[in-house]
Amino acid sequence: MDAAIRATVNRMDFSRRLRVYALESRAQFLSVWRVPAFSVPTLVFPLMFYVFFGIIMGTRGLSLVMPTYLLATYGVFGIIGPALFGFGLGLSTERSDGTLLLKQTTPMPPAAYLVAKLSMALLFSSLIILGLFCMGGYLAGVELYRWQWFTLAGVLLLSTLPFCAMGLAIGTWVKAQAAMALVNAVYLPMAFLSGLWFPVMAFPTVLQKLANIFPAYHAAQLCLKVIDMDQGQSAVLHLGVLIFYTMAFLALAAVGMRRPLA
């Protein structure tokens, strides 16, 4: 009887915790969805750029090479935005205005806050990926096998993790006033130099070598490997670099989280 009671209590406790995680994730999503300065650029810019470069410019000459290539690279560009801004700007703002301190005084599990941020980034990324895939398939005429569509979507979603870790590190170390400038200073140059806007093969040799230091380049190459358009490097190499960056940024964030909230 005691074992049955304990099992019931454990199930109830798990159910309550799961509900807390779900409610916090919902709150995080709604809080950024209702801020046009975040939600509109995050969702619209990758789609707008793909329309111009992938569809209008890319389909000239009836070639599907550019629309297909840019579907993968603009996918990476799209998933970086929610990760960096959601964690970097969001966390630094909530640390500065006292929101995070208030949450720490509640019975909410400490991990629920970070899981909610991750859920928000993944949901925004899913919307971006869905929009890009619809445009690529219906407007640009991109043709992929069914397994390629699903695999590409999966790789893109998993690729949010190192950029969430990067945003987390920024959010724990940088104050809200400087977070926006720093995120933009990282996001846009990294996207360009990683070959997300234009194929990296068109870059000068020096810039092609420089691209290898950016996690966005390795995420893009993994996605391009799914559609047989990568530069031929090992998938293990790209995956290893992304894991390294994820662990390094998480370690940096762990140190930053110990700093006093201000």
Question: Is residue 81 one of the residues assigned to a domain?
Answer: yes
Q: Are 140 and 58 spatial neighbours (Cβ–Cβ below 8 Å)?
A: yes
Question: Is residue 262 one of the residues assigned to a domain?
Answer: no
Question: Is residue 246 one of the residues assigned to a domain?
Answer: yes
| Residue 23: partners with Cβ closer than 8 Å, 6 or more residues away | none
Our count of domains for the chain comes to: 1
Token pair of 230 as six digits: 């990568």
Q: What is the pLDDT along the chain (262 residues), one digit of tens a residue?
A: 455 544 443 554 677 888 888 888 888 888 888 888 788 888 999 999 999 888 887 666 546 788 999 999 999 999 999 999 988 888 888 877 777 777 777 778 878 888 989 999 999 999 999 999 999 999 988 999 999 999 999 999 999 999 999 999 998 898 877 888 899 899 999 999 999 998 898 899 999 999 999 999 999 999 999 999 999 999 999 999 999 999 999 999 999 888 765 5
The CB density around residue 226, as the number of other CB atoms within 10 Å, is 22
Q: Is 243 left (phi over 0), alpha (psi -120 to 50) or beta?
A: alpha
| Residue (of 248, 256, 200, 219) closest to 80 by Cα position | 219
Q: Are 46 and 74 spatial neighbours (Cβ–Cβ below 8 Å)?
A: yes
Give residue-wise pLDDT tens across range 188-201.
999 999 999 988 98
The DSSP code sequence of 200-247 is GGGS-HHHHHHGGG-HHHHHHHHHHHHTT-S-S--HHHHHHHHHHHHH
| Residue 174: partners with Cβ closer than 8 Å, 6 or more residues away | 88, 92, 182
What burial class does residue 60 get, using C-beta atoms within 10 Å of its C-beta: 0-12 exposed, 13-18 middle, 19+ buried?
Answer: exposed
The CB density around residue 217, as the number of other CB atoms within 10 Å, is 26
Query: Domain limits at 217?
Result: 2-257
d(CA 33, CA 39): 5
Question: Is residue 35 one of the residues assigned to a domain?
Answer: yes
